[in-house]
Amino acid sequence: MKILISYVIYFVVIYLFYLLTVVLNKKKHEKYKRSKQVMMFVRRYNLDFKKISLVKFLNIIAITNSFIMSTTIMLLEYVPNLFLKLVVAFVALMALILSCYKLIGIYIERRNK
């Protein structure tokens, strides 16, 4: 139970930070549209902001990034060695980023059809 509470706390804190700094900050929306992360979705998955709103897309990314970071943090709590933590963090981050962003891409492709 303690593990689940820790995970939820990490998730909520990371999501709120991302929400306040990116999603709700309308001044940065145009800058974020030109970021490499968004451009990857535009090129690879034919993301069209006429069919999906930017705020909805930013919320999806915020939830996904919160999941990725909080899961990685929870994994690292069980690894004792610093070098091993670095290796586990790198592998976990790459695996989670690739798989979660692929799922977002599939969702966007289906939504655009």
Nearest residue to 64 via CA among 108, 25, 33:
108
What's residue 70's pLDDT?
96
* Domain ranges for the chain: 2-112
Q: Which position has the token pair 């977002």?
A: 104
What's residue 54's pLDDT?
86
Structure letter (DSSP) for residue 48:
-
pLDDT tens string for the chain (113 positions)? 888 999 999 999 999 999 999 888 888 888 888 888 888 888 888 888 888 888 889 999 999 999 999 999 999 999 999 999 999 999 999 999 999 999 999 988 888 77
Structure letter (DSSP) for residue 52:
S
Question: Tokens for 37?
Answer: 């992360």
- 88 C-beta neighbours (distance < 10 Å), count: 16
What's residue 74's pLDDT?
94
